[in-house]
Amino acid sequence: MTPITVLIADDIAATREDIKRLLYFEEDIEVVGEAGDGEEAVILASELKPDVVLMDVNMPRVDGIEATERISVNVPQCAIIIISIQGEQEYLRRAMAAGARDYLVKPFSAQDLAKAIYRVSESQRKRNIFLSPSLSAVSTSSIRAKKGTIISFFCTKGGVGKTTLACNTAVALAQDYKKKVVLVDLDLSSGDVAVMLNLNPKNTIADMVQEQDTLDSPLVESFLVQHLSGLKVLPAPLSPEHAELVKAEHIQQLLKILKDNYECVIIDTAPVYTDINLNVLEASDRILLPLNQDLTTLKHVKKAQEILAALNYDSKIRTVLSQHSSEGLKIKELQKNLGISLSAIVPEDFKTVRNAINKGVPFVMNQQHTKVAQSIGKLIEALDIAKPREAAANPKPSFITRMFSL
């Protein structure tokens, strides 16, 4: 097996030596170069073309963030891990916006460092395969045709209706579009999907990952919960402390299995930038960014746009205005600030949404006449993933709808 080549960029020689010692016993990792500042790191990365660059943030001449941005452009096949004593969210945002694939806070253990290198190297290897010009358009399209579509709902600002949109979109795809759909709640610390769908799961994703080291299709299927609409659901852990049991490698395995077995994989993400979320966003075919008409939410979505654009995910993004009303920022203002046209607009209807949540029955099931329910169909059209059957254009009330209407 060819070792993973690593370039270390840090202005302190002792730190570079420490990192080399941490990697000494990793037979599959080889340090091929060292840089004392950002400028040297950019030059060496172009010459050596390492698989991974370990990049310190604070360096002379050119800092780690700028060096990361340059290397991401000049050597796109190289994965960059930022290493810093700074653990603040702002540093993480800046690093990811510049093109970094992971972020380690000093001090870190040999195990943490090696795991990060293996993880980003494998992720980058997969990206390089699909970005390779040697893949013909025919072979690429045939690969994608056999796979399902992963749609992630993501926003770092709470209160924008992210989970409500995810649940109703998933139910509508299963019920009205007759798709084979699975909904995964990856807000691991405080997920509400089970509550919104009136499910009382005995087992969750946290229980699943403890069953065996490597996930497989039969195991995953056994932990999915059936919903009345035909939708399958993988619930979030019942207790916040169980969230730590779920690792990024579990999610990589899970998404591959679900993509192979379902037409649509809907994911409700946590409102943070974590290894798990970054893996999800990378695997996603569509990333839906919901926002409302508040200035603070606009700021969060604009920052998310920058980060996702730096990761070359522009084509995946669909921005949706949720809870639209006559108050707050106007649509033209939002579109001007974001530099895009909104993909869909979901009107404000607190009464309908609140009743749906309290009853555990998504409004697309028994309140299809409302504007908020009808807007979900337009949202699905904006995702370019499904064509409704003729009956779906003017859906007749299903048995489930009639039952709940009573």
Kindly state the average pLDDT of the residues 9-22. 92
Among candidate residues 101, 131, 161, the one where a domain is terminated:
131
Q: Kindly provide the residue ranges of all beta strands, DSSP E only, lying in 10-138, ordered along the sequence.
A: 29-35, 52-56, 79-84, 102-105
Q: Find all residues with CB under 8 Å of 403, minimum gap 6, and list them.
A: none
Above pLDDT 70, what percent of the chain? 88
User: How distant, in Å, are the alpha carbons of 8, 9, 62, 74 from that of 40?
Assistant: 11, 8, 9, 14
- Helix (H) or strand (E) holding 129, with range, is helix 110-131
Question: Does one domain contain both 168 and 53?
Answer: no
**Does some domain include residue 141?**
no
Question: Does one domain contain both 206 and 112?
Answer: no
Question: Does one domain contain both 20 and 169?
Answer: no
**Does some domain include residue 84?**
yes
Given a contact cutoff of 8 angstroms between Cβ atoms, the answer to whether 102 and 122 are in contact is no
| Vertex 156: Cα angle to 83 and 127 (nearest 5) | 55
pLDDT score for 385: 76
**Does some domain include residue 139?**
no
Q: By residue range, what is the domain housing residue 265? A: 147-405
Among candidate residues 104, 131, 158, the one where a domain is terminated:
131
Question: Does one domain contain both 38 and 179?
Answer: no
pLDDT score for 2: 84
Cα–Cα dist 263/254, whole Å: 15
**Does some domain include residue 382?**
yes
pLDDT score for 366: 85
**Does some domain include residue 116?**
yes
Question: Does one domain contain both 186 and 258?
Answer: yes
Among candidate residues 91, 107, 131, the one where a domain is terminated:
131
Question: Does one domain contain both 161 and 127?
Answer: no
Cα–Cα dist 52/123, whole Å: 11
**Does some domain include residue 395?**
yes
Given a contact cutoff of 8 angstroms between Cβ atoms, the answer to whether 289 and 301 are in contact is yes
Question: Does one domain contain both 301 and 350?
Answer: yes
pLDDT score for 333: 92
Question: Does one domain contain both 74 and 160?
Answer: no
pLDDT score for 88: 62
Q: Check pLDDT > 80 for residue 177.
A: yes
Question: Does one domain contain both 55 and 191?
Answer: no
Given a contact cutoff of 8 angstroms between Cβ atoms, the answer to whether 391 and 397 are in contact is no
Tally the domains of the chain: 2
Question: Does one domain contain both 377 and 401?
Answer: yes
Q: Is 361 helix (H, G, I), strand (E, B) or coil?
A: coil
Neighbours of 309 (CB within 10 A): 12
**Does some domain include residue 309?**
yes
User: How distant, in Å, are the alpha carbons of 182, 255, 260, 311, 386 from that of 143?
Assistant: 21, 16, 11, 22, 18
Q: Check pLDDT > 80 for residue 303.
A: yes
**Does some domain include residue 212?**
yes
Question: Does one domain contain both 67 and 105?
Answer: yes
| pTM score | 0.65
Digit-coded pLDDT (tens) for 256-294: 999 999 999 999 999 998 889 999 999 999 999 999 999
What's the token pair of residue 98? 């510049």
What's the token pair of residue 102? 């992971």
pLDDT score for 387: 52
User: What's the CATH code of the domain at 81?
Assistant: 3.40.50.2300
User: What's the CATH code of the domain at 366?
Assistant: 3.40.50.300
